[in-house]
């Protein structure tokens, strides 16, 4: 399997690639967080993580996912940050 990761550019930032038909939900029960996703959602998340892992991406850069821009209704917000 190949995942195309767009090269990070400081002037444009991260370019997130979403696989058509993705579905991602974030929930919590007690002290556990569950990320549930279909295949397209998992591939999209893998792309986002590889995007953040690029050498040129500065620490503190983050991806904020919520129900307004990407997660299923009823999901908790998910923030993934490079440290």
pLDDT at residue 20 tops 90? yes
pLDDT at residue 2 tops 90? no
Residue 26 banded pLDDT, cuts 50, 70, 90: very high
Tell me the backbone φ, ψ of residue 46, rounded to 5 degrees.
-60, -40
Residue in 71, 30, 29 with CA at minimum distance from that of residue 48: 71
pLDDT digits (tens, 9 = 90+) for 49-64: 999 999 999 999 999 9
Mean predicted lDDT score pLDDT of the chain: 95
pLDDT at 51: 96
């Amino acid at each position: 399997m190949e995942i195309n990761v767009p090269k990070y550019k400081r002037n444009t930032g991260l370019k997130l690639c979403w696989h058509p038909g993705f579905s991602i939900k974030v929930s919590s029960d007690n002290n556990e967080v569950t990320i549930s996703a279909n295949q397209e959602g998992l591939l999209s998340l893998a792309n986002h993580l590889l995007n953040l892992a690029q050498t040129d991406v500065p620490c503190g850069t983050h991806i904020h996912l919520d129900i307004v821009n990407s997660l299923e209704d009823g999901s908790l917000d998910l923030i993934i940050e490079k440290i």
